[in-house]
Structure 1
């Protein structure tokens, strides 16, 4: 999912928290909440970029 209110930040959908959706960075990190009207599905290029970033983080031994 892409949060358009945060410079098109890509995250995985984690659930609903009241009126907001919880998203988590693909490479790990702190979840954030976004209004559903500011969230859209990631296009194939955005998904590829996020998955590559995740693989690179994993190869460096970063915590996911």
Structure 2
């Protein structure tokens, strides 16, 4: 897996964008920004295309919001 790729944290079903990797953990950030969380490498599964599309739409919407 590479930085920027969308994956699913199979422990709770959350989708996240890979920000990096430290040891046996992957650092994920929710679509549209927010607090990163660590996920064990064995709990990461690839996101399906529909899930990626929804995540990218959330990011674009978050960027377009006025302060």
TM-score, normalised with respect to structure 2: 0.79
Aligned residue runs from structure 1 range 25-64, under 5 A: 25-61=30-66
Cα offsets for 1:14-54 (capped at 9, x unmatched): 12122211111121011110011111111000001101111
Matched residues in 2 for 1:11 and 1:35: separation? 13
What TM-score results when the alignment is normalised by the length of structure 1?
0.82
Runs of 5+ consecutive residues of structure 1 not aligned to the other structure: none
Q: Which structure 1 residue ranges, 4+ long, deviate > 4 Å from structure 2?
A: none
More helix by share: 1
* Alignment: residue pair count: 61
Computed over aligned residues only, the root mean square deviation of the Cα atoms, in angstroms, reads 1.4
Instruction: Name 1:3's counterpart in structure 2.
Output: 9
